[in-house]
Structure 1
Amino acid sequence: MLRIEGLENAYGDSRILFGVAFSVNAGEVVTLLGRNGMGKTTTIKSIFGLLPPKAGRILIDGEDVAGKPPFQIARRGLGLVPEGRQIFPTLSVEENLVATARGAANGGAGRAPRWTLEKVYALFPRLKERRRNMGNQLSGGEQQMLAIGRALMTNPRLVVLDEATEGLAPLIRDEIWACLRAIRDAGEAILVIDKNVDALSRFADRHVVIEKGRIVWTGTSDELRCTPKIKEQFLQV
């Protein structure tokens, strides 16, 4: 459903992306891996129109959306869990969830939405317990749950998570991974950035490694586990 072809981008005169290309199919989990500063978040910003590409194509169901405003891209069925969570701090948990909620994504006319407030609360019971609390009253882990729930409430066909478990305590991190597995098992396509390569290799179907703005390796989880030099060369600090 998502295909990136020859994506290039820059901040001012500083080139960041050089011909990035990869795809995510319906129901597939793909990771974007690489050390800090290699272009992962820039790729995500480019996909969502937050940083309009300098060149290349961003195809959603075959339609090129490169350069379109973010709200039009989101309406085509992409939901973002951004780096840093970026929840609304002065809205309650429930207000955060319903603020951007929408029905079935593009192509889903007449279908009941897959994700409702009740289903998000079932996935994240802690959010239901704290539904009247303001966003700035939540712990880091609860804020990440809220950011994921907010993305699901847009009823996307592809959920994109930038630094899915960054800065979270181990127990909370395990809880987030369990919820992400439930989202995957519900049939959602997922594109995820995270530094926990071992967890990702158990979670994802395919992996895309980026180094200095270029794709240097792609492969399945089995191939990643059988190619330790990829982790040593491109993923370790």
Structure 2
Amino acid sequence: MLDIKGLQASYGASRVLFDISLKVGEGECVSLMGRNGMGKTTTIRTIMGLLKPQGGSIDFAGSDIKGLAPEAIARRGIGLVPEGRQIFPTLTVRENLVATSANRLGTARPWTLERVFALFPRLQERQQQWARTLSGGEQQMLAVGRALMTNPRLVILDEATEGLAPVIRAEIWGCLETLKKEGQSILVVDKNVSVLRRLADRHVVIEKGRTVWSGSGADLDREIEKVHAYVGL
């Protein structure tokens, strides 16, 4: 579904991505790991068209999306849960979810308010509450729900559980497990190797803007010490 080869990107004159390659298949969950500052968020920003690529290719569902505008990429079927959540603070929970809802791809069982509320009952309880008044964990749930309401073929989560309390972190992981069982394609950025080795089908590690390791769950089990060295845990 998503196939990235040799991706390069820069901030001004400073090259940040030198050679990023990764794949996410239909119904597959793939983790993207690496220490802080190694290019994970820049990779996501480049996939989503928020940063112009300088080289390489980004193929999604058989089409070249490299260099398209962010809204065009979203319309192709990629939903983003961005780093820092970036919910709409002056809208209610319900308004956040409805604001970007769409089923452009004609999904047979589309994501609706009812399905999102079933996944995150806390959002239903707070649906008339201003988003800015939610806790950090609730805002992350809202960001996930908002992405699902676009009915994407692929969901990308950047720093999925960063800064969350353990109980909320577990709830987010449980949500991703549910989505995976339902066949949702997922690309997740996080540092929790122990959880990711159970959740993800394949894993990609980047360092200094380059893909330095990739493999299956079995590969990760065999080379866990090497991955820990790259990730810094």
Shift of 1:112: 3.8
Amino acid at match of 1:165: T
Q: Residue in 2 aligned with 1:99?
A: 99
Q: Return the alpha-carbon distance in structure 2 between the equivalents of residues 123 and 61 of structure 1.
A: 27
Deviating beyond 4 angstroms after TM superposition, the runs of 4 or more aligned structure 1 residues are none
CA contact 2:3–2:22 (8 Å) conserved in 1:
yes
Q: Return the alpha-carbon distance in structure 2 between the equivalents of residues 232 and 63 of structure 1.
A: 35
Of 7-16 and 144-153, the range deviating more from structure 2: 7-16
Choose from 112, 116, 124 the match for 1:116: 112
Q: Residue in 2 aligned with 1:84?
A: 84
Shift of 1:201: 0.5
For the residue of structure 1 that corresponds to 2:160, the secondary structure is coil
Shift of 1:228: 2.5
Amino acid at match of 1:134: W
Shift of 1:236: 1.2
For the residue of structure 2 that corresponds to 1:54, the secondary structure is strand
Q: Residue in 2 aligned with 1:235?
A: 231
C-alpha distance after superposition, 1:42-70 (max 9, x if no partner): 00000000001011111112211111100
Amino acid at match of 1:231: V
Amino acid at match of 1:208: V
Alignment of 1:1-237 (within 5 A): 1-105=1-105, 108=106, 111-236=107-232
Q: Return the alpha-carbon distance in structure 1 between the equivalents of residues 104 and 217 of structure 2.
A: 31
Amino acid at match of 1:100: T
Q: Return the alpha-carbon distance in structure 2 between the equivalents of residues 90 and 178 of structure 1.
A: 28
Q: Return the alpha-carbon distance in structure 2 between the equivalents of residues 79 and 89 of structure 1.
A: 19
CA contact 2:75–2:104 (8 Å) conserved in 1:
no
Q: Return the alpha-carbon distance in structure 2 between the equivalents of residues 86 and 228 of structure 1.
A: 33
Q: Unaligned 5+ residue runs, structure 1?
A: none
Shift of 1:199: 0.4
TM-score (norm 2): 0.97
For the residue of structure 1 that corresponds to 2:219, the secondary structure is helix
Aligned length: 233
CA contact 1:113–1:155 (8 Å) conserved in 2:
no
Amino-acid identity (%) = 61
User: What's the RMSD between the two structures over aligned residues?
Assistant: 1.1
